[in-house]
Protein backbone atom coordinates (compact mmCIF):
# COMPACT_ATOMS: atom_id res chain seq x y z
CA UNK A 1 0.00 0.00 0.00
CA UNK A 2 1.50 3.33 -1.05
CA UNK A 3 1.40 6.52 0.95
CA UNK A 4 -1.30 8.11 -1.18
CA UNK A 5 -3.78 5.33 -0.45
CA UNK A 6 -3.85 6.79 3.04
CA UNK A 7 -4.18 10.41 1.94
CA UNK A 8 -7.35 12.13 3.12
CA UNK A 9 -8.34 13.05 -0.48
CA UNK A 10 -8.03 9.40 -1.49
CA UNK A 11 -10.18 8.36 1.46
CA UNK A 12 -12.74 10.98 0.54
CA UNK A 13 -12.91 10.16 -3.18
CA UNK A 14 -13.19 6.49 -2.30
CA UNK A 15 -16.64 7.29 -0.94
CA UNK A 16 -17.61 8.03 -4.53
CA UNK A 17 -15.43 5.84 -6.72
CA UNK A 18 -13.63 2.55 -6.11
CA UNK A 19 -10.19 3.67 -7.28
CA UNK A 20 -8.10 1.38 -9.49
CA UNK A 21 -4.32 1.07 -9.27
CA UNK A 22 -3.97 3.40 -12.26
CA UNK A 23 -6.28 5.98 -10.71
CA UNK A 24 -4.41 5.78 -7.40
CA UNK A 25 -1.14 6.39 -9.25
CA UNK A 26 -2.57 9.46 -11.01
CA UNK A 27 -3.85 10.78 -7.68
CA UNK A 28 -0.43 10.16 -6.18
CA UNK A 29 1.19 12.34 -8.83
CA UNK A 30 -1.22 15.16 -7.97
CA UNK A 31 0.23 15.05 -4.43
CA UNK A 32 3.86 15.50 -5.54
CA UNK A 33 4.45 19.20 -4.92
CA UNK A 34 4.15 19.27 -1.15
CA UNK A 35 4.14 22.62 0.58
CA UNK A 36 3.69 24.02 4.09
CA UNK A 37 1.90 27.21 5.07
CA UNK A 38 1.84 28.94 8.42
CA UNK A 39 -1.29 29.80 10.36
CA UNK A 40 -2.82 33.21 9.87
CA UNK A 41 -1.18 34.20 6.60
CA UNK A 42 -3.37 34.16 3.45
CA UNK A 43 -2.33 31.55 0.88
CA UNK A 44 -4.52 33.02 -1.86
CA UNK A 45 -5.95 36.53 -1.93
CA UNK A 46 -9.35 37.45 -3.26
CA UNK A 47 -8.89 38.90 -6.75
CA UNK A 48 -5.60 37.06 -7.32
CA UNK A 49 -5.25 35.36 -10.70
CA UNK A 50 -3.11 32.53 -12.05
CA UNK A 51 -2.89 30.83 -8.69
CA UNK A 52 -2.65 27.09 -8.14
CA UNK A 53 -5.16 24.86 -6.41
CA UNK A 54 -4.11 22.82 -3.38
CA UNK A 55 -5.02 19.49 -1.87
CA UNK A 56 -5.09 19.92 1.89
CA UNK A 57 -3.42 16.99 3.66
CA UNK A 58 -3.07 18.28 7.23
CA UNK A 59 -4.62 21.19 9.13
CA UNK A 60 -7.62 23.47 8.76
CA UNK A 61 -8.17 26.42 6.42
CA UNK A 62 -10.95 28.98 6.16
CA UNK A 63 -12.08 30.58 2.91
CA UNK A 64 -13.66 33.99 3.17
CA UNK A 65 -14.79 37.00 1.20
CA UNK A 66 -13.83 40.50 2.24
CA UNK A 67 -16.58 43.08 2.09
CA UNK A 68 -16.08 46.69 1.04
CA UNK A 69 -16.65 47.74 4.67
CA UNK A 70 -13.72 45.57 5.81
CA UNK A 71 -15.79 42.86 7.50
CA UNK A 72 -15.40 39.32 6.32
CA UNK A 73 -17.84 36.55 5.56
CA UNK A 74 -16.41 33.08 6.03
CA UNK A 75 -17.77 30.95 3.19
CA UNK A 76 -16.56 27.61 4.46
CA UNK A 77 -13.77 25.70 6.16
CA UNK A 78 -11.51 23.14 4.54
CA UNK A 79 -10.35 20.03 6.35
CA UNK A 80 -7.85 17.37 5.22
CA UNK A 81 -8.88 15.81 1.91
CA UNK A 82 -10.46 19.01 0.63
CA UNK A 83 -9.36 21.00 -2.36
CA UNK A 84 -8.45 24.64 -1.81
CA UNK A 85 -9.20 26.93 -4.73
CA UNK A 86 -10.36 24.25 -7.15
CA UNK A 87 -13.08 26.63 -8.26
CA UNK A 88 -10.65 29.53 -8.54
CA UNK A 89 -8.12 27.73 -10.67
CA UNK A 90 -10.80 27.16 -13.29
CA UNK A 91 -12.42 30.57 -12.92
CA UNK A 92 -8.96 32.16 -13.21
CA UNK A 93 -9.58 34.89 -10.64
CA UNK A 94 -10.01 33.84 -7.04
CA UNK A 95 -13.35 35.10 -5.74
CA UNK A 96 -12.21 34.60 -2.15
CA UNK A 97 -9.19 34.37 0.14
CA UNK A 98 -7.76 31.34 1.95
CA UNK A 99 -6.24 31.55 5.39
CA UNK A 100 -4.71 28.60 7.25
CA UNK A 101 -6.21 28.42 10.74
CA UNK A 102 -3.29 26.32 11.96
CA UNK A 103 -0.01 25.42 10.25
CA UNK A 104 -0.94 23.22 7.30
CA UNK A 105 0.45 20.81 4.72
CA UNK A 106 -0.90 20.92 1.18
CA UNK A 107 0.01 19.70 -2.31
CA UNK A 108 0.07 22.31 -5.05
CA UNK A 109 -1.89 21.43 -8.21
CA UNK A 110 -1.65 23.40 -11.45
CA UNK A 111 -4.49 23.57 -13.98
CA UNK A 112 -2.31 21.59 -16.40
CA UNK A 113 -1.82 18.85 -13.75
CA UNK A 114 -5.58 18.58 -13.41
CA UNK A 115 -6.07 18.40 -17.17
CA UNK A 116 -3.41 15.73 -17.50
CA UNK A 117 -4.98 13.71 -14.69
CA UNK A 118 -8.43 14.00 -16.30
CA UNK A 119 -7.05 12.87 -19.66
CA UNK A 120 -5.48 9.81 -18.04
CA UNK A 121 -8.50 8.77 -16.02
CA UNK A 122 -11.93 10.24 -16.66
CA UNK A 123 -13.31 8.52 -13.56
CA UNK A 124 -11.03 10.72 -11.51
CA UNK A 125 -12.47 13.76 -13.30
CA UNK A 126 -15.93 12.57 -12.31
CA UNK A 127 -14.79 12.00 -8.72
CA UNK A 128 -13.38 15.53 -8.53
CA UNK A 129 -16.61 16.89 -10.01
CA UNK A 130 -18.38 14.92 -7.25
CA UNK A 131 -16.15 16.56 -4.62
CA UNK A 132 -16.89 19.99 -6.12
CA UNK A 133 -20.62 19.17 -6.12
CA UNK A 134 -20.38 18.25 -2.46
CA UNK A 135 -18.61 21.54 -1.70
CA UNK A 136 -21.39 23.38 -3.50
CA UNK A 137 -24.04 21.45 -1.57
CA UNK A 138 -22.38 22.59 1.65
CA UNK A 139 -22.43 26.23 0.56
CA UNK A 140 -26.12 25.80 -0.28
CA UNK A 141 -26.72 24.42 3.22
CA UNK A 142 -24.94 27.44 4.70
CA UNK A 143 -27.06 29.74 2.54
CA UNK A 144 -30.20 28.08 3.84
CA UNK A 145 -28.79 28.18 7.36
CA UNK A 146 -28.18 31.90 7.29
CA UNK A 147 -31.44 32.57 5.48
CA UNK A 148 -33.75 30.35 7.49
CA UNK A 149 -32.38 28.53 10.53
CA UNK A 150 -32.32 30.06 13.98
CA UNK A 151 -28.97 30.37 15.75
CA UNK A 152 -29.20 27.10 17.74
CA UNK A 153 -30.14 25.00 14.72
CA UNK A 154 -27.52 26.74 12.60
CA UNK A 155 -24.74 25.94 15.07
CA UNK A 156 -25.97 22.37 15.57
CA UNK A 157 -26.08 21.83 11.80
CA UNK A 158 -22.60 23.24 11.39
CA UNK A 159 -21.10 21.01 14.11
CA UNK A 160 -22.81 17.91 12.72
CA UNK A 161 -21.63 18.63 9.19
CA UNK A 162 -18.04 18.90 10.44
CA UNK A 163 -18.45 15.60 12.33
CA UNK A 164 -19.53 13.84 9.11
CA UNK A 165 -16.83 15.43 6.98
CA UNK A 166 -14.08 14.59 9.47
CA UNK A 167 -15.33 11.03 10.03
CA UNK A 168 -15.07 10.46 6.26
CA UNK A 169 -11.33 11.15 6.39
CA UNK A 170 -10.77 9.27 9.66
CA UNK A 171 -10.41 12.31 11.90
CA UNK A 172 -13.38 12.00 14.19
CA UNK A 173 -16.61 10.18 14.77
CA UNK A 174 -20.23 10.71 15.72
CA UNK A 175 -18.97 11.18 19.28
CA UNK A 176 -16.71 14.13 18.56
CA UNK A 177 -13.59 15.55 16.97
CA UNK A 178 -10.72 17.98 17.50
CA UNK A 179 -11.55 21.45 16.20
CA UNK A 180 -9.19 24.45 16.13
CA UNK A 181 -11.91 27.02 15.32
CA UNK A 182 -12.38 30.00 17.61
CA UNK A 183 -15.67 31.65 18.49
CA UNK A 184 -14.72 34.40 16.04
CA UNK A 185 -14.51 31.86 13.21
CA UNK A 186 -17.90 30.48 14.18
CA UNK A 187 -19.37 33.97 14.35
CA UNK A 188 -18.03 34.96 10.91
CA UNK A 189 -19.21 31.73 9.35
CA UNK A 190 -22.67 31.62 10.90
CA UNK A 191 -23.53 35.31 10.69
CA UNK A 192 -23.73 35.69 14.48
CA UNK A 193 -21.91 37.91 16.96
CA UNK A 194 -19.21 36.34 19.15
CA UNK A 195 -21.40 36.96 22.19
CA UNK A 196 -24.29 35.20 20.51
CA UNK A 197 -22.04 32.25 19.59
CA UNK A 198 -21.01 31.99 23.22
CA UNK A 199 -24.63 31.94 24.38
CA UNK A 200 -25.66 29.36 21.78
CA UNK A 201 -22.78 27.05 22.71
CA UNK A 202 -23.73 27.33 26.37
CA UNK A 203 -27.35 26.41 25.58
CA UNK A 204 -26.26 23.41 23.51
CA UNK A 205 -23.98 22.29 26.34
CA UNK A 206 -26.54 22.81 29.10
CA UNK A 207 -29.19 20.93 27.13
CA UNK A 208 -26.81 17.94 27.07
CA UNK A 209 -26.40 17.86 23.30
CA UNK A 210 -22.84 18.97 22.54
CA UNK A 211 -19.85 20.62 24.21
CA UNK A 212 -17.25 22.63 22.30
CA UNK A 213 -14.39 23.40 24.67
CA UNK A 214 -10.56 23.47 24.61
CA UNK A 215 -10.32 22.63 20.92
CA UNK A 216 -12.58 19.61 21.08
CA UNK A 217 -16.20 19.01 20.14
CA UNK A 218 -17.89 16.32 22.23
CA UNK A 219 -21.26 15.15 20.97
CA UNK A 220 -23.24 13.88 23.95
CA UNK A 221 -26.55 13.17 22.28
CA UNK A 222 -26.26 12.77 18.51
CA UNK A 223 -29.95 12.08 17.93
CA UNK A 224 -31.18 15.15 19.77
CA UNK A 225 -28.57 17.29 18.03
CA UNK A 226 -29.78 15.96 14.67
CA UNK A 227 -33.36 16.71 15.62
CA UNK A 228 -32.55 20.27 16.61
CA UNK A 229 -30.58 20.89 13.40
CA UNK A 230 -32.99 18.97 11.14
CA UNK A 231 -29.74 17.53 9.83
CA UNK A 232 -30.07 15.20 6.84
CA UNK A 233 -26.58 14.10 5.73
CA UNK A 234 -27.71 13.00 2.24
CA UNK A 235 -26.10 16.10 0.68
CA UNK A 236 -22.69 14.86 1.87
CA UNK A 237 -23.22 11.57 -0.01
CA UNK A 238 -21.04 9.40 2.17
CA UNK A 239 -22.90 6.11 1.84
CA UNK A 240 -20.33 4.30 -0.32
CA UNK A 241 -19.09 4.30 -3.89
CA UNK A 242 -21.48 5.00 -6.77
CA UNK A 243 -18.80 4.00 -9.28
CA UNK A 244 -17.52 0.49 -8.62
- Please report, as ranges, the residues that interact with a copy of itself according to CB under 8 A: 16, 47, 65, 67-68, 71, 73, 75, 86-87, 90-93, 95-96, 111, 114-115, 118-119, 122-123, 125-126, 128-130, 132-137, 139-144, 146-148, 191, 230, 234-235, 237, 239, 242-243
Q: Give min distance, CB of 146 to a copy of itself, in A.
A: 5
Q: Give min distance, CB of 130 to a copy of itself, in A.
A: 4
Q: Give min distance, CB of 135 to a copy of itself, in A.
A: 7
Distance, C-alpha 244 to centroid of its chain: 25
Q: Give min distance, CB of 167 to a copy of itself, in A.
A: 17
Buried b (16+ CB within 10 A) or exposed e, 155-191: bbbbbbbbbebbbbbebbeeebbebebebebbbbbbe
Closer residue to a copy of itself (CB): 38 or 119: 119
Closer residue to a copy of itself (CB): 58 or 137: 137
Residues whose CB is less than 8 angstroms from the CB of residue 144 and which lie 6 or more positions away in sequence, other chains included: none
Quick one: which of 117, 140, 142, 141 has its CA closest to 127? Answer: 117
**Is residue 228 within a helix (H) or strand (E), and if so which, with residue range?**
helix 222-229
Query: Distance between the two ends of the chain, CA-based, in angstroms?
Result: 20
Closer residue to a copy of itself (CB): 39 or 146: 146
Q: Give min distance, CB of 129 to a copy of itself, in A.
A: 5
Pairing outcome for strands 176-178 and 61-66: unpaired
Environment class of residue 58 by beta-carbon count within 10 Å: exposed (0-12), middle (13-18) or buried (19+)? middle
Closer residue to a copy of itself (CB): 85 or 176: 85
Instruction: Report the SS3 class of residue 152.
Output: helix
Q: Give min distance, CB of 38 to a copy of itself, in A.
A: 26
Closer residue to a copy of itself (CB): 108 or 113: 113
Q: For the chain, state the CA radius of gyration.
A: 18
Closer residue to a copy of itself (CB): 158 or 217: 158
Amino acid sequence: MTLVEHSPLTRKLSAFVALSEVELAVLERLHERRRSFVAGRDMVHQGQSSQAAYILSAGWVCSYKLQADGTRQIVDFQVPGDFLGLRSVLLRTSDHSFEPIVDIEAAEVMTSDLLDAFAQTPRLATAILWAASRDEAMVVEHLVGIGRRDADARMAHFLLELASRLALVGMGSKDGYDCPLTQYHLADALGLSAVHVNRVLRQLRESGRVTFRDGHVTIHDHDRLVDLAEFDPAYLDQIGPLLK
